[in-house]
Structure 1
């Protein structure tokens, strides 16, 4: 059984059509169709059926799709172990939150490309909770995310990248003498309280007996910063990293101590075949944090 046929089968199931699967795989649709016929002949049962304009797995296809994914993982792990180099063969499947993608990932990838040009990195964006679930399920080799409010599973390796204290974000021309008074007085853009730093900001204000005048509540630090820059209000956010020049329309103000910080780091499964790749990626963080150029 050719593992490439299983890969095409999973792509068709995930995409719901031969055409979309062929685009994902960068193969002609006729090739994908031929692979599916060959796989069905090998298995001895029909695996796919057309329902309207979509293609869905048959009863047999639905039974084997999870096993097919496991087979592909095993094949990928075998290829990694069989590497003739010091590190396992890639690719390294890396998850990253949007703020990590905007700030931490680009300079780190430049160092990785110079140090390990033959090892590909696949990057998947997502929320911290989703990425952690994907690491635990083995669908990602590592992720750059915010530490949750609970302890990491003991099967995981956690390495701190940076601590980001909460700051008050205001339009550049706003006069601020007391950050807490400003947060209480001005229209407020609330960082989503379902995420770690959003809860931190809410609890911090409550601890100071401040009930802000919330105009909007949303996730996405960059989106909130844009609204602040446009003059819609102020916000309390983690002091996130920015690549390139900072937006001149906004200003960050430190908050009175004790001020909470969110911890951003890398996590991976210690038992993963490609855990040495994750550790090697983290080892490149040191020069970045010391301020040395890319």
Structure 2
């Protein structure tokens, strides 16, 4: 059995579409369909079925998904061992959506400089989802908020950056009292289903600040642009200070000891990418 057929099968399952899977694999749809057909003939049963414009695995396909992923991981591990521990193949890295744009370019430059033969797949999402995806071995590691609960056995989270809460305000309000801004100006709330939004909500309650809420949204970049356009003010983790200030936004420090969102890297300590994880931790100061 050719492992590239298994890789194609998993790509179709993950994408739910032949067209999207073919795009990601740099294949034509016909070539991808031929690979799936060859795999089905080898196994002796239909693995993929069409459901309208989308596709999904059959019952037989669902039965082999996890095992197929395991075989692909084992194949990658064998290549790494045979090549003097130099990482090969693909690093599947999760990155919290709120930090994706600010961190990804620098991180990729560091990885490719150290490991030029490594390919990288980036998946963005909420930290809770990335944690689950890493534990289920869909991802090798994730840059995410500190887990609320104890991590699963064999996995570790290590701090790489503390993002203190700050008030974002239009430049013209840069000399105002931050508490006054939070209480009186239209408030752009960071999504309370996310850890950063929860920390902000706890801070507002602690100081008995009832904001004049205008909207709630889960994207820090969008919040920053809205503040820049004068739509309101926000209370958010200080995730990308240089970029934020380039928009002409004022970043106002909170009085006393402001809470912080802890960002770190979560990974399988038994995995084959220990070298890359160590590099990210070593270079955290320049990357983050």
TM exceeding 0.5: yes
1:67 is paired with a residue whose SS is helix
Distance in 2 (CA, whole Å) between partners of 1:136 and 1:56 is 23
Distance in 1 (CA, whole Å) between partners of 2:74 and 2:241 is 38
Matched, 1:47 2:47: yes
Please list every run of 5 or more consecutive structure 2 residues that lacks an aligned counterpart in the other structure: none
Q: Residue 189 of structure 2 contacts residue 215 of structure 2 at CA under 8 Å; is this kept in 1?
A: yes
**Structure-2 residue corresponding to 1:230:** 229
**Structure-1 residue corresponding to 2:33:** 33
Q: What pairs with 1:84-233 in structure 2 (closer than 5 Å)?
A: 84=84, 86-174=85-173, 176-233=175-232
Structure 1, 28-37 or 210-219: larger mean CA deviation: 28-37
Distance in 1 (CA, whole Å) between partners of 2:62 and 2:164 is 47
Distance in 1 (CA, whole Å) between partners of 2:213 and 2:51 is 47
Report the alpha carbon displacement of residue 186 of structure 1 after superposing the two structures with TM.
1.4
What TM-score does the superposition give when structure 1 sets the normalisation length? 0.87
RMSD (Å) for aligned C-alpha atoms: 2.4
Q: Residue 102 of structure 1 contacts residue 243 of structure 1 at CA under 8 Å; is this kept in 2?
A: no
Distance in 2 (CA, whole Å) between partners of 1:32 and 1:142 is 28
1:173 is paired with a residue whose SS is helix
Please list every run of 5 or more consecutive structure 1 residues that lacks an aligned counterpart in the other structure: 290-294
What TM-score does the superposition give when structure 2 sets the normalisation length? 0.89
Larger of the two Rg values belongs to structure: 1
Q: Residue 171 of structure 2 contacts residue 249 of structure 2 at CA under 8 Å; is this kept in 1?
A: yes
Distance in 1 (CA, whole Å) between partners of 2:159 and 2:196 is 16
**Structure-1 residue corresponding to 2:12:** 12
Q: Residue 176 of structure 1 contacts residue 182 of structure 1 at CA under 8 Å; is this kept in 2?
A: no
Q: Residue 82 of structure 1 contacts residue 89 of structure 1 at CA under 8 Å; is this kept in 2?
A: no
Change (3 A) 1:243 1:140: farther
Change (3 A) 1:99 1:27: same
Q: Residue 141 of structure 1 contacts residue 275 of structure 1 at CA under 8 Å; is this kept in 2?
A: no
1:74 is paired with a residue whose SS is helix
Change (3 A) 1:257 1:153: farther
Distance in 2 (CA, whole Å) between partners of 1:226 and 1:138 is 35
Change (3 A) 1:243 1:33: same
**Structure-2 residue corresponding to 1:292:** none
Aligned pair count reads: 288
